[in-house]
Chains A and B, each alone.
Chain A
């Protein structure tokens, strides 16, 4: 028997190791299919900061004033970045080099996210085994290791905050629930530290700081309040807030913004509740009732006063003290009405229903069963899982990006449900030799829990609920009371059990196949390198972005300012090493609006705007020649909206046809066809497309002929166009050296600035 327990342990660790390896390696498709390269947009900034960190050291990064972005405003990087990811990768780099492993910082960055996915699987295992059992924990770890939603943000190369933040999130929950279960101060300290790491890593920490108070209130409401919750919750709020205050990017927001008020409120309620229960214990019931009335009535008065003060403070701000981003979450229509810059990001859009199936697959269908299962055997910990699941579902419905928060919750819930099912099924299979009907005797409520624990290995969370004597009961031949319990629980007919087992295993198999497909084919593209399959089975590679950035890096003055739409800001600073006007850290709307205004104005006005910003090069991303749909023409309406949000002379309807359509063909609006964006995109395009498609000016993204074929540029000159025309770089011309006098009869508008 001992041997079995040992083997079980060994098997558990083996399985966990395997899961970690799986979590790591399933994310390497991007490296295998493409190359070891940083992906997308934000990761390039993180990569650049990490480089800075490894070269200049911790304090210099903390105080870094970056003069190469947001020209001429600059950006205080140390105070505006969540540094968790960067510190993590930086320390890994330092440690590896201390061990004389001379790895390049880029490789460290590329593999950080897969590594932390493995850690996240472990944290999920811990969380669910605290909530239910080790078996369920293993299942949860297995699920989270390969859930596509999480893979989408943590493939090798996706060096973004979420890569470590999801681990930090689950880890915080794990230590918190562990503290709730054990009441140990050591665990509480670890949970505070885990929370600190979470705040360091991601703005999503406000999810924790709102979920935990909610949980705390729910516990009080259900009358399950114990000292253990106090040990878990109070330090987290008090010290956790102090920690977040000392992280520059959060700073005093941790006590000033409405996101955090819920925590303080719950903190207060917790103390009151504990005080009440203490007083209740001390006093005879009658006196308690009297006291309660007095206190309640006075507390109501004071409470009303306090509440009105808080309300007045909050009402001062137009967003009721919430940051714009949180407001977007609470009111899904808020961003599209007031903050176009948030609404313009595709990952801030609400997800479509099919992305739930795509990203969570069978889990989303099993998860509701998990909620039922949690209620079925409700403990403090399972209550937490339920709350986590429900809130995460709501937030994921608001923003597709927050599917990421939902993914671990769904994994945990599904794991609880499936593991309960498997216990019953497997138990039935093993209990089959017994007669199906036994005279029933009163059932020990602790028994089911105990059964699981033995199945899974060592004792799980609630130590006070399992006694050593019961540990040995299960593996013996069932007899008497225990046998009755077993029969009641595992009374499924053999055929049904086998059938269910097959179905479950089949579903798991499908899940694995789906996840591998998702990782291999959908989420591995680095988006700076594109591939399209060729007829001979190979791939055709579009490497225009890096080509153009390399051109900028090698052919322009190191201090040249480059303007583009903000999406490409991080990439320009990191890959081309040139100063940009705006980038993906969209902190200053009016500056972005200025660039949007330039892009949507006519040539002369745009030229003046760019000159006033000392811009020397402007580039646009153009997909019309090869059919790359996420180009600037398709993003253009957002530039108009964002520009129009600050400069009222830009009106969206001027850029739409009379029917309200957005078109760039001959029916397109005149303002549209005269805008700088149109000109820069389609300059010289007609001839090129005649060469490739046989017809002049056929745009392969829009699928029609463009409106104005002969585009003339007076104030900009083309200096570089990448191989597939995906990136087109223009130089803002200098003022002319001479101002020729206009003579009657001479052609007008010949203020052509100097070439070259």
Chain B
């Protein structure tokens, strides 16, 4: 018994570590830069990730071997890369994403066309090569005192603690390229947007009149995309914001000296991107008639039923009950007949009791939950609703008694008449 327990604990531990730590491949512009991001990688390692760092031209690179993905997540900090060594190309990376894996893409103003195309495939439109984000009001001055209006001190974070952590009192420093997100995009979230006074411009080119610039909040500095298969992609316009240099620097913004929030922000966001935070797992969908535990084949119209589903939030490999009031359940046949928020019991079980509509057909339970920062929940479960069986109607209706009486009296009268006719002389 105790051995079993031990084994169980060991297994759990193994599972836990396996879950918490994805295998990460980090591709840098050059292997010499390894030390530049050591704080970042150390923080990730501390969070349980196993990181393999290579230069992007390394000829031994491969993401996939014999149809198996070798890594769970990919960090691309090689803005200038036009191609990759080994067997990695853009299609491989897209396949990697489409099979549910995650990518963190960091670029800067020297971005290559290949990186821009990759970002575009993710759904993020990076600004042209050579452009930089300028802000002549919200910029940070480093300890060396040199004024650099491209070192933006951004504070406009998305309101989603699960993605970015926080709230942060310190600014997040950024130097690099802006991006834009199509206005009809369903999947992309602007995580960090530029201050209202910022703009994106290539200083080597003349300003066209009227200026067609990305200005203010329209310029996205860090963008997160969650694909429909819950694979996550983060496109950061600045590699530098992940570097030790920025993580540890003390800067002056508008005269006030402050530390940067970059480290917390970047690590939290990366953990989010690598599905270490904000992952919802819905399981154990079940439904039954009230007063019965068995899951039926289907319902009859007007039945009272209960629907339950367990939703757990996974963070750092640990599942905890998810608590929200905005998960809606729909009961659909062509149109939703029921659309009601689910109640949760604090233990992660979401449930709803309702009356099946007085319409028969093939209904489906449908939950389509997409809350910013959390993985999507999309559940469909088909349940036929049948009409009454022939013997389920009421046998005698009160309102029909006059008709019964009339039928009976006709029969009696006929019998009497026939008797009279036949036997009365």
A565 to B298, CA, bound (A): 28
With known contacts A739-B187, A740-B121, A742-B182, A72–B231 Cβ distance under 8 A: no
Q: Would you call A741 and B124 a contact (CB within 8 A)?
A: yes
Bitwise, A75-86 to B at CB < 8 A (1) or not (0) is 010100000000
Neighbouring B residues of A72 by C-beta, 8 Å: 332-334, 361-364
Chain A residue at minimum C-beta to C-beta distance from B98: A737
Neighbouring B residues of A65 by C-beta, 8 Å: 298, 360, 384, 386-387
- In the complex, whether A71 has a CB less than 8 A from a CB of chain B is yes
Q: Would you call B122 and A738 a contact (CB within 8 A)?
A: yes
A358 to B389, CA, bound (A): 47
The residue from A62, A740, A742 contacting B390, defined by CB atoms under 8 A apart = A62
With known contacts A63-B390, A67-B384, A74-B384, A739–B123 Cβ distance under 8 A: yes
Q: Would you call A741 and B382 a contact (CB within 8 A)?
A: no
- In the complex, whether B15 has a CB less than 8 A from a CB of chain A is no
CB distance from B385 to the nearest CB of A (A): 8
Report the interface size for chain B: residues with CB under 8 A from the other chain: 38
Neighbouring A residues of B116 by C-beta, 8 Å: 743
A661 to B214, CA, bound (A): 54
Q: Would you call A248 and B390 a contact (CB within 8 A)?
A: yes
- In the complex, whether B406 has a CB less than 8 A from a CB of chain A is no
- In the complex, whether A470 has a CB less than 8 A from a CB of chain B is no
Neighbouring B residues of A660 by C-beta, 8 Å: none
CB distance from A347 to the nearest CB of B (A): 30
- In the complex, whether A101 has a CB less than 8 A from a CB of chain B is no
The residue from B98, B182, B333, B382 contacting A559, defined by CB atoms under 8 A apart = B382
- In the complex, whether A377 has a CB less than 8 A from a CB of chain B is no
CB distance from B121 to the nearest CB of A (A): 5
Neighbouring B residues of A509 by C-beta, 8 Å: none
Bitwise, A391-414 to B at CB < 8 A (1) or not (0) is 000000000000000000000000
- In the complex, whether B154 has a CB less than 8 A from a CB of chain A is no
Among B221-229, B274-282, B343-351, the stretch in contact with A:
B221-229
Q: Would you call A736 and B182 a contact (CB within 8 A)?
A: no
- In the complex, whether B181 has a CB less than 8 A from a CB of chain A is yes
Neighbouring B residues of A73 by C-beta, 8 Å: 333-334, 361-362
Neighbouring A residues of B97 by C-beta, 8 Å: 737-738
Q: Would you call A738 and B387 a contact (CB within 8 A)?
A: no
The residue from A67, A76, A740, A743 contacting B387, defined by CB atoms under 8 A apart = A76
Neighbouring A residues of B186 by C-beta, 8 Å: 739
- In the complex, whether B185 has a CB less than 8 A from a CB of chain A is yes
CB distance from A753 to the nearest CB of B (A): 10
- In the complex, whether B73 has a CB less than 8 A from a CB of chain A is no
CB distance from A333 to the nearest CB of B (A): 34
Bitwise, A608-621 to B at CB < 8 A (1) or not (0) is 00000010000000
- In the complex, whether B125 has a CB less than 8 A from a CB of chain A is yes
Q: Would you call A738 and B333 a contact (CB within 8 A)?
A: no
CB distance from B29 to the nearest CB of A (A): 24
CB distance from A391 to the nearest CB of B (A): 34
Chain A residue at minimum C-beta to C-beta distance from B186: A739
A interface, over-half SS: loop
Neighbouring A residues of B117 by C-beta, 8 Å: 743
The residue from A63, A71, A743 contacting B120, defined by CB atoms under 8 A apart = A743
A62 to B389, CA, bound (A): 8
Q: Would you call B187 and A738 a contact (CB within 8 A)?
A: yes
Q: Which residue of A738, A746, A754 has the most chain B CB atoms within 10 A of its CB atom? A: A738
- In the complex, whether A735 has a CB less than 8 A from a CB of chain B is yes
Neighbouring B residues of A738 by C-beta, 8 Å: 94, 97-98, 121-123, 187, 225, 227-228
Neighbouring A residues of B389 by C-beta, 8 Å: 63
Q: Would you call B384 and A741 a contact (CB within 8 A)?
A: no
Which of A37-95 touch B at CB < 8 Å? Answer: 59, 62-63, 65, 67, 71-74, 76, 78
Neighbouring A residues of B390 by C-beta, 8 Å: 59, 62-63, 78, 248
Neighbouring B residues of A59 by C-beta, 8 Å: 390
A754 to B334, CA, bound (A): 25
Q: Would you call A754 and B362 a contact (CB within 8 A)?
A: no
CB distance from A207 to the nearest CB of B (A): 28
A65 to B332, CA, bound (A): 18
Neighbouring B residues of A248 by C-beta, 8 Å: 390
With known contacts A740-B123, A741-B120, A743-B120, A735–B362 Cβ distance under 8 A: no
Bitwise, B346-370 to A at CB < 8 A (1) or not (0) is 0000000000000011111000000
A461 to B360, CA, bound (A): 53
CB distance from B420 to the nearest CB of A (A): 17
A724 to B97, CA, bound (A): 39
Bitwise, A414-455 to B at CB < 8 A (1) or not (0) is 000000000000000000000000000000000000000000
A71 to B363, CA, bound (A): 9
Neighbouring A residues of B227 by C-beta, 8 Å: 737-738
Neighbouring B residues of A736 by C-beta, 8 Å: 228
Which of A551-592 touch B at CB < 8 Å? Answer: 559
Neighbouring B residues of A739 by C-beta, 8 Å: 123, 182, 185-188
Chain A residue at minimum C-beta to C-beta distance from B229: A737
Chain B residue at minimum C-beta to C-beta distance from A68: B362
A694 to B172, CA, bound (A): 68
Chain B residue at minimum C-beta to C-beta distance from A66: B384
Neighbouring B residues of A614 by C-beta, 8 Å: 364
Neighbouring A residues of B225 by C-beta, 8 Å: 738
The residue from A62, A74, A741, A754 contacting B181, defined by CB atoms under 8 A apart = A741
A73 to B390, CA, bound (A): 20
Q: Would you call B362 and A67 a contact (CB within 8 A)?
A: yes
A63 to B125, CA, bound (A): 58
Q: Would you call B360 and A76 a contact (CB within 8 A)?
A: yes
Which of B168-209 touch A at CB < 8 Å? Answer: 181-182, 185-188
The residue from A74, A746, A754 contacting B360, defined by CB atoms under 8 A apart = A74
A740 to B117, CA, bound (A): 9
CB distance from A475 to the nearest CB of B (A): 45
CB distance from B208 to the nearest CB of A (A): 15
CB distance from B188 to the nearest CB of A (A): 8
CB distance from A115 to the nearest CB of B (A): 30
A71 to B119, CA, bound (A): 41
CB distance from B100 to the nearest CB of A (A): 9
Q: Which residue of A63, A67, A78, A741 has the most chain B CB atoms within 10 A of its CB atom? A: A741
A65 to B122, CA, bound (A): 46
Which of A712-748 touch B at CB < 8 Å? Answer: 735-743, 746
A71 to B334, CA, bound (A): 9
The residue from A62, A71, A76, A741 contacting B125, defined by CB atoms under 8 A apart = A741
Q: Would you call A67 and B122 a contact (CB within 8 A)?
A: no
Neighbouring A residues of B185 by C-beta, 8 Å: 739, 741
Neighbouring A residues of B362 by C-beta, 8 Å: 67, 71-74
With known contacts A63-B390, A737-B228, A743–B125 Cβ distance under 8 A: yes
Q: Would you call A740 and B229 a contact (CB within 8 A)?
A: no
CB distance from B274 to the nearest CB of A (A): 18
Chain B residue at minimum C-beta to C-beta distance from A743: B120
Neighbouring B residues of A67 by C-beta, 8 Å: 298, 362, 382, 384
A72 to B383, CA, bound (A): 10
Bitwise, B102-119 to A at CB < 8 A (1) or not (0) is 000000000000001101
Chain A residue at minimum C-beta to C-beta distance from B231: A737
Neighbouring A residues of B123 by C-beta, 8 Å: 738-741
CB distance from B389 to the nearest CB of A (A): 4
Q: Which residue of B228, B362, B387 has the most chain A CB atoms within 10 A of its CB atom? A: B362
CB distance from A368 to the nearest CB of B (A): 46
Chain A residue at minimum C-beta to C-beta distance from B181: A741
Ordered by A's residue number, 7 sampled pairs between the chains whose C-beta atoms are within 8 Å are A65-B298, A72-B334, A76-B360, A76-B387, A737-B98, A737-B228, A738-B121
For the complex of A and B, 6 pairs with smallest distance between CB atoms:
A65-B386, A67-B384, A63-B389, A72-B362, A741-B125, A737-B227
Known: A65-B298, A738-B187. 13 other contacts (CB 8 A): A65-B384, A67-B298, A72-B332, A73-B333, A76-B360, A76-B387, A735-B228, A737-B231, A739-B186, A740-B122, A741-B119, A743-B116, A754-B98
Q: Taking beta carbons and an 8 Å cutoff, which residues of A are in contact with B?
A: 59, 62-63, 65, 67, 71-74, 76, 78, 248, 559, 614, 735-743, 746, 754
